[in-house]
Amino acid sequence: MRKIAALPSLLTLSNLLCGFHALYFASQRTPDGLTLAAWMIFFAMVFDALDGKVARLARASSQFGAELDSLADMVSFGVAPAFLVAMLSAHVGLQHQRLVWLSCMVFAVCTALRLARFNVQTDLDADSHQSFNGLPSPAAAGQVAALVILHEHLAARFGITVLPRLLPTVTFFTGALMVSRIRYPHLVSRFLGGHHAFAELAFAAIVVLLLATHKELTLASGFSLYVVAGMAGAVRHAVFHPAEEEKPIF
């Protein structure tokens, strides 16, 4: 076997450890356990974004790294978010727990299918990482984790507890979107690579400012917009380009 690139692999393993800690914190019956678990998923996203970028910059991309990345992603972006929703639903005493567990299992299974399809359809070069066929698993996990963080914030500050009733449905449909054929842009490659217009930099600065001041609402809104934008793009393409060869959504 070829020599293993140390830094990208360590970043990928850090992603995996964040997923493990997300599971650990979600299983603890502490006031901040679910919030900590959700933030661990976001930390895993940071390491996931860095490992591939570092590997390509160092020209150390390999099949070993791709497989290791998928194993880490399955824990951090498949099992951990599903378990987080299941624990939150149990904590707030939602009815129809079997349906909740069904949505969580669908999410975990769709993550596995999404990652397997990505591995067989995507090359190691940078040009293959400009867009995704289906909702990327980090974005699906981020959508779930952001709503959990927003719920914990709203419940503690205003006593609003409506989001746990919506989360199982969101979990189910984000799982389905992962195995769809809807195209989603690769935002990390778009913003971290090449030169950018002034408007893009201004937009990024505004997002950072909003994260610093209203991180809970900004994260939930941002991931929701990303998820909905892909579906809106698919509908627009079907309406305005009906003559082109149609591809099934799933």
CATH code assigned at 20: 1.20.120.1760
Contact 138, 18 (CB under 8 A): no
Distances (CA, A) of 1 to 4, 57, 64, 120, 131: 8, 21, 9, 20, 30
Which residues span the domain enclosing 103? 6-240
Domains in the chain, number: 1
Per-residue pLDDT in tens (0 to 9) along the chain, 250 residues: 556 678 899 999 999 999 999 999 999 988 799 999 999 999 999 999 999 888 888 887 888 888 999 999 999 999 999 999 999 999 998 888 999 999 999 999 999 999 999 988 877 655 556 678 899 999 999 999 999 999 999 999 999 999 999 999 999 999 999 999 999 988 766 666 556 677 777 878 898 899 999 999 999 999 999 999 999 988 887 787 765 655 566 6
Domain presence at residue 247: no
Domain presence at residue 250: no
Domain presence at residue 180: yes
Domain presence at residue 171: yes
